[in-house]
Amino acid sequence: MVADAPMTPVDIEPLPRLARLAWDRAPALCASRDGCADYHRSWSMLRLVRAGGKPPAGWRFFHAEIARAAARGARRVLISGGADAGLLAIVASGFRNAGVVPRITFVDRCATPVMQNRLLGAELGLDLRAETADLREFRADGMDLVIAHSFLVFFETAERARVVANWAESLAPGGALLMSSALADEGPGALWRPASADDIPARKARLQAQARGAGLTPAEAAELADVAGRVWATRPSDRTGGLTEAELRGHFRAAGLAVERIACKPRADAPALGAARQRRRAEIVARAPG
């Protein structure tokens, strides 16, 4: 049965509770070798406090593609990495709108988002397997959809190729990889970003005020600002280099995936086109041979 009014991810994600859980439990759950405790401790809380609980970017794109795939019989979905349960909320609400019950596998190397996903899956009565694994090695089988959000930028080029090859191996014939990711312009030179992005003291002060406004205690608001300040100071794409469209197309070609769509949106606050090397958020569909 198709739902009456389309459901949004916000309708089914109890973000205040999930954010509180990650805030309290990430220091114990995140493995110190991965150095992700600050990131996973603060991710959901930052979504809640700064963006009023907005879902991850591109959720309408994922919903549209899930509807298209579900109408063709897609059921089995791999969510390839997630900083919290935001992607699961997108996938679950998208399939509910399509009136289809999916079988979802969620994989992340870290136990904190896996814990959040298990909790949301149980609350929603989903058919969900959530597990910790390294996606440079992990392969599933017979997936109709693989969903990835800002994931490849975490890796060096050779590792990106391995991850894309694993996605391709995980897909059933005709299955689709759906990605929302920043893509960097080709060319030499540093990537443009707003000057305010590097003003971490100002960002921390703003966040602390937002956190107080959202009801955190003064001590928690100050701690959140400190944790977020450390996360902001270490951007993964500074370490790995931006992902360009040409590189991505090369990984798809090598893995035998056909590009169906790469649609880029410039940042609203970016300078005029051509003025600087930019990152743009892209919505991407690549398909396994049928």
Ligand X SMILES: C[S@@+](CC[C@H](N)C(=O)[O-])C[C@H]1O[C@@H](n2cnc3c(N)ncnc32)[C@H](O)[C@@H]1O
The DSSP result for 34-93, as a single string, is: GT-HHHHHHHHHHHHHHHTTPPPTTHHHHHHHHHHHHHTT--EEEEE--SSSHHHHHHHH
Using CB under 6 A as the binding rule, whether residue 116 contacts ligand X is answered as no
Using CB under 6 A as the binding rule, whether residue 130 contacts ligand X is answered as no
> Interface residues for ligand X in 153-172 (CB under 6 A)?
154
Minimum CB distance to ligand X smaller for 80 or for 278:
80
Q: How many Å apart are CA 214 and CA 238, to the nearest integer?
A: 31
**CA 273 to each of CA 57, 73, 190, 192, 270: distance values in angstroms, whole numbers, following the listed order:** 22, 41, 15, 11, 8
Minimum CB distance to ligand X smaller for 108 or for 283:
108
Q: ∠ at Cα 136 (149, 66), nearest 5°?
A: 35
Figure out which of the listed residues 41, 76, 109, 160 binds ligand X, where binding follows CB under 6 A.
Answer: 109
Name the one residue in this structure whose structure tokens are 């150095």: 35
The contact mask relative to ligand X for 223-252 (x = CB under 6 A, - = no) is ------------------------------
> Interface residues for ligand X in 48-107 (CB under 6 A)?
56, 81-84, 86-87
Q: ∠ at Cα 131 (229, 226), nearest 5°?
A: 10
Figure out which of the listed residues 65, 108, 247, 283 binds ligand X, where binding follows CB under 6 A.
Answer: 108
- Smallest gap from residue 236 Cβ to ligand X (A): 8
Contact set with ligand X (CB under 6 A): 36, 56, 81-84, 86-87, 108-110, 113, 134-136, 149-151, 154
